[in-house]
Amino acid sequence: MIHTESLARTFTVGKERIEAVRGIDLDVAEGELVAFLGPNGAGKSTTLRMLTSLLPPTSGSASVAGIDVLARPAEVRRRIGYIGQKDGAGHNYRVWDELLMQGRFYGMSKADAAESGEELLRTLDLDALRMRKVSSLSGGQKRRLDIALGLIHAPGLLFLDEPSTGMDPQNRANLWEHIMRIREQRVTTIVLTTHYLDEADAMAERVVIIDHGTIIADDTAETLKAKQAGDRLTVVVRPADAAAARTLLGTEGSELSERPDDDGTALSIRVDAASHAMPGVLARLRDAGVDVVAAAARRPTLDDVFLNLTGRSLREGES
C-alpha cells in the first residue's frame, strides 16, 4: 500500500538548512494500522505530508496505493483520505454542505455523496448537527466531522495527522471508538501520527518510532517493549543495605540502575515477568538481611523503549 525509498525533505529557513526527514524507508501493507510515534519536530507530519502529495520530497521516492507520488500526485489524492492537524471543515459552512461538497470534490455524484454522508453522520454521531454552522461545533464534534470529511469517498487508505491532539481523555476515547468502528465497516489501512505514547500503545498494531527525521524502531508495541525495554523490578532499601542489595540484584536480573529515594535508595533491574519474579527476589533479599522498604514490578511502556533508544524521554517534550 505504501512503499518509500530514502524519502527525505529539507527546509531552508533563512540561512539555516533543516533536515526534517532524512531518508525514510517504509513499507505498509493493506489493512495495517500504523502509528508514527515521536516527539514534536521529529519529522512525522512532514513524512505524512509527503506521502499525501501535499509536500514534494527533496529526494527519494514514494509510491502510495501503487502510484508514484511525485509523478501522479492527483491520482494519489483520489485514492486516499487525509485528515490534517487543523479543522478540515470551513468555519463558515454548514456541516451537511461541507460533507456534500467534499464528496463532489472527489468526483462523486450528488446521490452517492449524500448516501455516504448520511451513513457517516450516523456512525459519527453527527446527525443532529447537520444544519449547524461549523464554527458553532465543539472541538470533539469538529474532529468527528473531520473524520467524516476524510472518509466521504470511502478511501482504501486513510492518513491521520495527530488526530487527538488537544482533546480531553474522554473525547479521545470516543474518537478512537469511532475510528475503530469505521475501520471494521470500511476496511481501511490507517497511518497516523501521534506523540501520545498510550495512544500508539493501545491503538496501533504497528509502531514506527521516528526521531530526528529517521526511523529508529519499527515493530508491534509488544515486541518493541519486550526487546527494547523489558519488565523492570524496583526495590527501595535503606542506605545501609544498598551494597548487599546491589550484589544480590546483580545476579537476579540485568541492567541494574540506581537512584536516590526519599526512603533510601531505589534499585531497579530488568527481569522477565517481573510480577512473578518479585516474591522470590524479595524472599532472597530478606535472607541476605536486606530490609526492603518498598517494591514495584512494572511493565515497560513505549516511553521506556524511546528512552532506551535515544537516551531521552518522550514525555519531556509533551506539552
Does residue number 140 form part of the binding site for other proteins (CB under 8 A)?
no
Which residue in 211, 228, 235, 218 sits closest to 284, CA to CA? 235
Among 3, 104, 246, 284, binds other proteins (CB under 8 A): 104
The answer to whether 309 and 217 have CB atoms below 8 angstroms apart is yes
Among 3, 6, 70, 101, binds other proteins (CB under 8 A): 101
Backbone angles phi, psi at 63, to 5 degrees: -120, 135
The answer to whether 65 and 79 have CB atoms below 8 angstroms apart is yes
Binding to other proteins (CB under 8 A) within 188-207 occurs at: 188-189
Q: Which amino acid would we find at residue 72?
A: R
Taking the complex as a whole, how short is the minimal distance between the CB of residue 32 and other proteins, in angstroms? 9
Does residue number 278 form part of the binding site for other proteins (CB under 8 A)?
no
Does residue number 75 form part of the binding site for other proteins (CB under 8 A)?
yes
Among 23, 41, 140, 156, binds other proteins (CB under 8 A): 156
Among 16, 74, 111, 169, binds other proteins (CB under 8 A): 74
**Would you tell me how many other CB atoms lie within 10 Å of the CB of residue 129?**
20
# residues near other proteins by CB under 8 A: 47
Tell me whether residue 184 or residue 287 sits nearer to other proteins (CB atom).
184
The answer to whether 236 and 263 have CB atoms below 8 angstroms apart is yes
Does residue number 144 form part of the binding site for other proteins (CB under 8 A)?
no
Q: What are the cell numbers at 6?
A: 530514502
Among 89, 147, 158, 305, binds other proteins (CB under 8 A): 89
The answer to whether 211 and 264 have CB atoms below 8 angstroms apart is no
Does residue number 139 form part of the binding site for other proteins (CB under 8 A)?
no
Tell me whether residue 59 or residue 275 sits nearer to other proteins (CB atom).
59
Does residue number 15 form part of the binding site for other proteins (CB under 8 A)?
no
The answer to whether 25 and 197 have CB atoms below 8 angstroms apart is no
Q: What is the largest CA-CA distance in the chain?
A: 79
Does residue number 165 form part of the binding site for other proteins (CB under 8 A)?
no
Taking the complex as a whole, how short is the minimal distance between the CB of residue 16 and other proteins, in angstroms? 15
Q: In what order do the strands lie in the sheet with 2-13?
A: 16-28, 2-13, 59-64, 67-68
The answer to whether 116 and 155 have CB atoms below 8 angstroms apart is no
Q: What angle do CA 94, 151, 139 make, to 5 degrees?
A: 50
Taking the complex as a whole, how short is the minimal distance between the CB of residue 227 and other proteins, in angstroms? 25
Taking the complex as a whole, how short is the minimal distance between the CB of residue 108 and other proteins, in angstroms? 6
- In the complex, the residues that contact other proteins under the rule CB under 8 A are 11, 30-31, 52-56, 65, 74-75, 77-80, 82-94, 97, 101-102, 104-108, 146, 149-150, 153-157, 187-189
